[in-house]
Amino acid sequence: MKFSVPKISKLRFGFSMVEIIVILLTSSLLIADVMAKGLTMESVLVKNVVVIDGERDVSWDLATPLTITLNELPYEPNNGYEGLKETELEVRSMYDGENIYFLYRWYDPTISLARFPWEKSGDGTWKQLSNKDSTIHENTYYEDKLAVYWNINERGFIKKGCDKSCHMVEDGLLEGIKDSSSGRHYTKKEGETTDEWHWKGMRTNPNGQMEDGFVNNEHETNKKWGRQTDDHSGGGYYNNTNDTEFPAWMNGDIDVEAPLWVLDASKVPFKDTFKAGDRIGGIVTGPLKGSRGDVSAKGVWKDDHWQLEIKRKLVTRYEKSDSQDVQFDDLDKAYYFGVTAFDNSQINHIYHKKSVKLTFKK
């Protein structure tokens, strides 16, 4: 019996089907490679002193920027959401013998710093303004924020980024627990953690800091679920409330303008000398201390953009640093992170898929 091998015909453009398949496979690999490189950035060595003031000095010209598109939202608030649904975020990085630095810049046409402010009504009473949605979170009277998540040892983070620790509520339940939120962050396995740097435009920016926290496997046992703050030794922010229907505190003599927050160092007991429509900050804020306050940061809003400058030691040396802080202790190693921006929103945010790879250029 004779067997005949079918001929592979040439298509109109002169390529056989096999050749076209090879071309398509090669193209897809090239596209995948380009996409992977698109989420890669380098931290460059700097010799000059970097001042953390939110301004871009000439040193930052040494660092090649990476642009990340933030266009994913976790949920749509039921009472309306006027915040950003997409923005372009640019990030650069430098380092020296002791610290690592970042410069973030993203489009946000509105500056939002009025987080639950007190306002005096026409009848002389005071009201703390809020407009919470069905998840019991705010999207009207809040602040702009930026969060950066660094992988410490969470399995799957390198591939999925922040998505790996994000668990969405379905039919009002999460892990079988009734929950009104849209979702929660926690790692899947005990002992897995990610490092969280959380800049808050009204609560931490006046003090030149980001709040340093971490995400672990804890869930069901606290209202924050897996999101925790690093160990600390005092300081920070707290609600400007007491047992009355008035603010507890107001600003005393201060050298800087602070109409939407009260500085802890100069606060004085509230005394009503205000007119209708005047506002007092809903938060009293002071510097974070200990590991919770070890990330320096300053954000400046101008030209419809936030620009945020960040500094942290390459290696931190607190009692629980290994589980709470990413350690940049090997400059030959790659580090992975994800970033998300909040536009006047308590939990709703815009983020990106997958993680960003950071390497050090020597």
Q: Put residue 346 in one of left, alpha, beta given phi > 0 → left and psi -120 to 50 → alpha.
A: alpha
- Between the alpha carbon of residue 169 and those of residues 156, 196, 225, the distances in Å are 21, 22, 13
Sequence-separated contacts (24+) of 68-73 with Cβ below 8 Å: 68/39, 68/339, 68/352, 68/356, 69/352, 70/106, 70/339, 70/340, 70/341, 70/350, 70/351, 70/352, 71/350, 71/352, 72/350, 72/351, 72/352, 72/353, 73/348, 73/349, 73/350
Portion of the chain with pLDDT greater than 70, in percent: 85
How would residue 255 be classed by pLDDT, with cut points 50, 70 and 90? low
Cα 154 to chain centroid, rounded: 18
> What pLDDT, on a 0 to 100 scale, did the predictor assign at position 6?
44
Given a cut of 70, whether residue 37 has pLDDT beyond it is no
Given a cut of 70, whether residue 120 has pLDDT beyond it is yes
Please check whether residue 147 is in contact with residue 340, taking contact to mean a CB–CB distance below 8 angstroms. yes
Q: Does domain 42-361 have CATH number 2.60.40.1190?
A: yes
Q: What are phi and psi of 93, to 5 degrees?
A: -145, 145
Given a cut of 80, whether residue 122 has pLDDT beyond it is yes
Portion of the chain with pLDDT greater than 90, in percent: 71
Given a cut of 80, whether residue 105 has pLDDT beyond it is yes
What pTM was estimated for this model as a whole? 0.86
For the CA atoms of 55, 60, 64, 69, what is the dihedral angle to 10 degrees? -10
Please check whether residue 341 is in contact with residue 89, taking contact to mean a CB–CB distance below 8 angstroms. yes
183-187, 206-210, 314-318, 347-351: which has the minimum mean pLDDT?
183-187
Q: Where are the domains of the chain?
A: 42-361
Please check whether residue 106 is in contact with residue 305, taking contact to mean a CB–CB distance below 8 angstroms. yes
Nearest to 208 by CA among 269, 263, 160, 252: 263
Find the radius of gyration of the CA atoms of the chain: 24
How many alpha carbons lie under 13 Å from residue 171 in its C-beta half-sphere?
2
Model pLDDT for residues 301-337, shown as the tens digit of each residue: 999 999 999 999 999 999 999 999 999 999 999 999 9
Model pLDDT for residues 51-100, shown as the tens digit of each residue: 999 999 999 999 999 999 999 999 888 888 889 999 999 999 999 999 99
- Tell me the three state secondary structure of residue 291: helix
